[in-house]
């Protein structure tokens, strides 16, 4: 404030200041809003040092700007500061919340004037409208709920519409406030059977100030029937598990969802599958533990006619204890029967379809059938019509007929009958359990048999229940179909940490489950290996998949003749089948790969040249590398062995993350222009996985060596230069001189003044000695130049000499960095003079 007071007492008289801002603003929750505020200074520009802008929300300062800079005290406020000097003091508020509602003040000071404008901000949020849609029950009062969510401000009007006409009977609860300040409210309506018909449209309409038009959610009336739920329990012949069956029936429309609870806790369903359109099954594996002998198992059926699920609980009594102790697991099965809507006014006796139990590890087929709500003792008869071998009529077999004895009052748990009764038939076993609820009996009967191809190719099974005078029979056609194991991929290999090879192969979609898998390996003769096979049911069809695995020490693969083999036998096949993989098969994944040979572009005679090649992706680490040499123009390959001329460093094989190996091999050659001219080096790689070794040859390389000026000497009046070690032989030497002392123009010497002598060195390089007779007169003073041109030189070498003759003495100098250095006298001339 002190600051502002200072402005106010400044003596300059600036005429009127006008601040313009709307009195009120309105925005939606979550939006980004501009709070506009502009100002004008009459007859003047805005002068920066007289200007201050302040914004307030209620009494809190949220922005302050003056000639010292700006300060924003609100995390969601942004400003465009450039606008301030042009009379724009607007601020932007982003992510508007309900708490942003209130009065904002924009205060502008342009000393000595000041003016303030108030903006009142209203925030709104548009409601969500959602009817909990459900099917209504015919002839019954129905209640519907409409959820109105996340709106602001609180005032709202909810109306129920029946074919567009308002219903007055609805009740709305009192709105509740959410943490972000928005409101929610529920409204419900009770519909009388007399006022609704099929296909009527029911709507929930909401009027709220945040939206110009009414918001409506609506749906068409659908009638449904809630499910009735019954639970059965049975032990399946040959299994330690107990099956629990929850049958929901008589409902419409689809679907019904069933959940299982064990002692009130949701049960995980590790596997669920659907089959046959109207059956759903779920299994529950209960970890057997001493605390579990007594339990309540509940089945909940959820349906769109219901707000709450229909539930049925079965109390497992002590008589079941032994299943928990001995059984690996409890197996739950749930059944949802989409029976057509049945009349409730008659006797409810009904019989389910025949269903097939899927038991993963069973060699047997188990079919079951349930009957419910019989007031008398139901009698069950299973009949099997086996396919006849002589194509005429099938053989009919009555497998089981049972009459229930009156057992008096049975507690609302289970009694079993099958356990003590002997089986009627060796091939077929039947077991029947019943549940008494009130005075009605429900029965679950299972038929198990071991299927055989001949007998059960096409059978018809019937299950007949007789309840008093009512007889219901259900039939099922069943075919025992063998499925042959399919193989879609070759044996798969991988390498483990320890360097062992894991082989695996998947057999798919075979039936029945029983399969014999064997792994073996070896060179020539095969030895059995320990293996591990996992069999899982297919999700889509009644069949199984087997994944089999075995481990082989990696070292064994070093033999090129090594093979691994998986064989399998199955009822669906006439003989054995097998899959093999050898180290040399095309499916063997770890063959060595070779890169190009890397070598210098130019080899310099008299030095060492290095050739390198990278090899990777191979397993096991049994790599053989050989270097070979092919002479210019020849075809024959010569082995390169370590010597003074060739060095072959030992290769270092590296294990990569995927278990394979890699290495870089190299050859170091002492280069000679004589031997290396036109020659090629070849790297040959052998590995157990390769039939023929891999080879890579060096690309073209050139041999070149830079000429070296060994000496420039003089003898008598001649200048001699010795140039050495160059390769190839072509070289050009140019001698030239200045004509006059002062010109820089060089003129070449005539050939007659030059003599050269060419030689070759033992390493194949060349040497040349060139002499020039510069023609010397008294008082000669001239510059001479020697230029050497050769393909190994990027730029020619030039040497500048000075020849001076005064009276009798001739002196030769070389010009180096501006200094004149006397040339040595050549040995030859010394000899001559001696």
Ligand X SMILES: *[C@@H]1O[C@H](CO)[C@@H](O)[C@H](O)[C@H]1NC(C)=O
Minimum distance, C-beta of residue 246 to ligand X, in the bound complex (Å): 17
SS (H, E, C) 267-280: CCCCEEEEECCCEE
Minimum distance, C-beta of residue 282 to ligand X, in the bound complex (Å): 21
Rank residues 302 and 616 by Cβ distance to ligand X and give the closer one: 302
Instruction: Report whether 233 contacts 433 (CB < 8 A).
Output: yes
Minimum distance, C-beta of residue 330 to ligand X, in the bound complex (Å): 14
Rank residues 164 and 289 by Cβ distance to ligand X and give the closer one: 289
Residue 379 CB contacts under 8 Å (≥ 6 apart), including other chains: 401, 402, 403, 404, 465, 466
Rank residues 299 and 521 by Cβ distance to ligand X and give the closer one: 299
Between strands 257-262 and 824-825, the pairing is: unpaired
**Cα atoms in the Cβ-side hemisphere of radius 13 Å centred on 485:** 30
For residue 535, count other CB atoms closer than 10 A to its CB.
17
Rank residues 80 and 585 by Cβ distance to ligand X and give the closer one: 80
Closest CA to 506 of 495, 496, 498, 517: 517
Instruction: Report whether 107 contacts 55 (CB < 8 A).
Output: yes
SS (H, E, C) 495-551: ECCCCEEEEEEEEEEEECCCCEEEEEEEECCCEEECEEEEEEECCCCCCEEEEEEEE
Residues near ligand X (CB under 6 A) are 34, 38, 76, 79-80, 83, 88, 90, 92, 94-95, 145, 147, 173, 176, 184-186, 263, 294-296, 315
- Using DSSP's 3-state secondary structure scheme, residue 111 falls into coil
Minimum distance, C-beta of residue 690 to ligand X, in the bound complex (Å): 59
Minimum distance, C-beta of residue 73 to ligand X, in the bound complex (Å): 14
The DSSP code for 286 is: P
Minimum distance, C-beta of residue 159 to ligand X, in the bound complex (Å): 17
Rank residues 37 and 467 by Cβ distance to ligand X and give the closer one: 37
Rank residues 191 and 369 by Cβ distance to ligand X and give the closer one: 191
Minimum distance, C-beta of residue 102 to ligand X, in the bound complex (Å): 19
Minimum distance, C-beta of residue 497 to ligand X, in the bound complex (Å): 45
Residue 7 CB contacts under 8 Å (≥ 6 apart), including other chains: 50, 52, 109, 111, 112
Minimum distance, C-beta of residue 417 to ligand X, in the bound complex (Å): 25
Minimum distance, C-beta of residue 393 to ligand X, in the bound complex (Å): 53
Residue 384 CB contacts under 8 Å (≥ 6 apart), including other chains: 396, 397, 399, 428, 447, 449, 459, 460, 461, 462
Minimum distance, C-beta of residue 185 to ligand X, in the bound complex (Å): 6
Instruction: Report whether 810 contacts 823 (CB < 8 A).
Output: no
Rank residues 307 and 779 by Cβ distance to ligand X and give the closer one: 307
Rank residues 187 and 448 by Cβ distance to ligand X and give the closer one: 187
Instruction: Report whether 147 contacts 130 (CB < 8 A).
Output: yes
Q: What single string gives the DSSP state of each residue in 607-627?
A: SEEEEEEEEEEESSS--EEEE
536 is written with which tokens?
């899982």
Q: How far apart are CA 603 and CA 706, in angstroms?
A: 11
Rank residues 88 and 675 by Cβ distance to ligand X and give the closer one: 88
Minimum distance, C-beta of residue 224 to ligand X, in the bound complex (Å): 19
Residue 270 CB contacts under 8 Å (≥ 6 apart), including other chains: 283, 284, 285
Residue 640 CB contacts under 8 Å (≥ 6 apart), including other chains: 626, 627, 628, 629, 646, 648, 667, 681
Minimum distance, C-beta of residue 74 to ligand X, in the bound complex (Å): 10
Rank residues 318 and 819 by Cβ distance to ligand X and give the closer one: 318
Minimum distance, C-beta of residue 156 to ligand X, in the bound complex (Å): 12
Q: What single string gives the DSSP state of each residue in 7-66?
A: HHT-------EEEE--SEEEEETT--EEE--EEEETTS---GGGEEEEEEETTEEEEEEE
- Using DSSP's 3-state secondary structure scheme, residue 751 falls into helix
Question: How would you classify residue 682: left for phi > 0, otherwise alpha for psi between -120 and 50, otherwise beta?
Answer: beta
């Amino acid at each position: 404030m002190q600051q502002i007071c200072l402005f106010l007492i400044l003596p300059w008289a600036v005429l009127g200041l006008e601040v313009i801002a709307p009195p009120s603003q309105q925005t939606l929750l979550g939006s980004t809003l501009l709070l506009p505020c502009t100002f004008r200074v009459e007859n003047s520009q805005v002068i920066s040092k007289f200007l201050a802008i302040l914004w307030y929300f209620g009494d809190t300062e949220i922005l302050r700007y003056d000639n010292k800079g700006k300060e924003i005290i609100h995390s969601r406020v942004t400003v465009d500061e450039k606008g301030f000097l042009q009379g724009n003091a607007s601020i932007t508020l982003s992510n508007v919340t309900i708490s942003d509602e209130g009065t904002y003040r924009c205060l502008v000071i342009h000393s000595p004037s000041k003016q303030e404008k108030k903006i009142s901000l209203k925030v709104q949020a548009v409601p969500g409208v959602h009817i909990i849609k459900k099917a209504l029950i015919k002839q019954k009062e129905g209640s519907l709920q409409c959820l109105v969510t996340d709106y602001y401000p609180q005032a709202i009007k909810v109306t129920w519409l029946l074919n567009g006409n308002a219903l007055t009977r609805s009740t709305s609860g009192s709105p509740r406030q959410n943490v972000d300040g928005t409101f929610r409210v529920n409204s419900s309506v009770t519909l009388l059977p007399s006022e609704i018909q099929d296909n009527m449209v029911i709507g929930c309409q909401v009027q709220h100030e945040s939206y110009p038009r009414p918001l409506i959610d609506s749906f068409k009336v659908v009638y449904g029937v809630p499910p009735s739920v019954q639970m059965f329990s049975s032990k399946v012949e040959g299994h330690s598990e107990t099956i629990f069956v929850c049958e929901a029936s008589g409902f419409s429309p689809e679907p019904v969802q069933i959940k299982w609870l064990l002692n009130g806790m949701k049960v995980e369903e590790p596997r669920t599958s659907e089959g046959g359109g109207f059956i759903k099954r779920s299994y529950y594996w209960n970890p057997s533990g001493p605390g579990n002998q007594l339990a309540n198992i509940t089945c909940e059926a959820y349906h769109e006619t219901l707000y709450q699920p229909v539930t049925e609980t079965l109390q497992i009594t002590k008589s079941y204890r032994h299943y928990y102790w001995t059984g690996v697991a409890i197996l739950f099965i749930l059944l949802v029967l989409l029976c057509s809507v049945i009349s409730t006014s008659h006797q409810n006796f009904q019989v389910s379809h025949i269903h097939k139990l899927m038991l993963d590890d069973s060699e047997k087929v188990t079919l079951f059938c349930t009957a419910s709500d019989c007031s008398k003792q139901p009698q069950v008869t299973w009949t099997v019509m086996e396919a006849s071998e002589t194509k005429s009529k099938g053989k009919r077999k009555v497998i089981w007929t049972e009459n229930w004895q009156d057992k008096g009052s049975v507690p609302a748990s289970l009694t079993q009958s099958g356990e003590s009764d002997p089986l009627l038939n060796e091939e077929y076993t039947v077991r029947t359990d019943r549940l008494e609820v009130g005075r009605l009996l429900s029965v679950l009967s299972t038929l198990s048999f071991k299927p055989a191809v001949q007998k059960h190719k096409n059978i018809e099974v019937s299950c007949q229940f007789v309840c008093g005078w009512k007889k219901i029979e259900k039939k099922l056609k069943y075919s025992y179909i063998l499925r042959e194991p399919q193989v879609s991929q070759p044996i798969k290999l991988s390498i483990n940490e320890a360097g062992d090879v894991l082989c695996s192969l998947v057999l798919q979609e075979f039936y029945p489950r029983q399969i014999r898998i064997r792994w073996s390996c070896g060179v020539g003769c095969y030895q059995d290996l320990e293996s591990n096979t996992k069999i899982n049911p297919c999700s889509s069809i009644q069949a199984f998949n087997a994944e089999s695995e075995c481990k082989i020490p990696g070292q064994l693969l070093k033999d090129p003749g090594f093979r691994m083999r998986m064989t399998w036998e199955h009822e669906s096949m006439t003989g054995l089948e097998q899959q093999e993989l050898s180290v040399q098969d095309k499916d063997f994944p770890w063959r060595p790969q070779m890169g190009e040979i890397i070598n210098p572009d130019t080899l310099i005679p008299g030095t060492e040249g290095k050739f390198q090649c990278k090899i990777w992706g191979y397993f096991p680490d049994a790599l053989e590398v050989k270097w070979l040499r092919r002479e210019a123009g020849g075809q024959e390959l010569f082995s390169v062995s370590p010597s003074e001329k060739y060095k072959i460093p030992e290769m270092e094989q590296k294990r990569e993350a995927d278990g394979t190996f890699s290495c870089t091999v190299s050859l170091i050659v002492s280069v000679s222009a004589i031997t290396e001219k036109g020659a090629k080096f070849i790297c040959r790689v052998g590995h157990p996985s390769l039939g023929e070794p891999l080879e890579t040859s060096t690309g073209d390389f050139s041999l070149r060596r830079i000429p070296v000026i060994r000496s420039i000497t003089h003898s008598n009046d001649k200048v001699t230069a010795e140039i050495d070690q160059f390769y190839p032989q072509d070289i050009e030497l140019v001698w030239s001189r200045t004509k006059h002392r002062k010109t820089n123009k060089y003129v070449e010497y005539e050939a007659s003044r030059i003599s050269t002598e060419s030689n070759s060195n033992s390493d194949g390089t060349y040497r040349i000695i060139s002499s020039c007779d510069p023609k010397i007169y008294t008082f000669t003073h001239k510059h001479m130049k020697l230029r050497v041109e050769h393909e190994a030189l990027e730029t020619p070498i030039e040497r500048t000499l000075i020849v001076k003759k005064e009276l009798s003495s001739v002196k030769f100098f070389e010009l180096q960095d501006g200094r004149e250095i006397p040339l040595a006298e050549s040995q030859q001339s010394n000899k001559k003079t001696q």
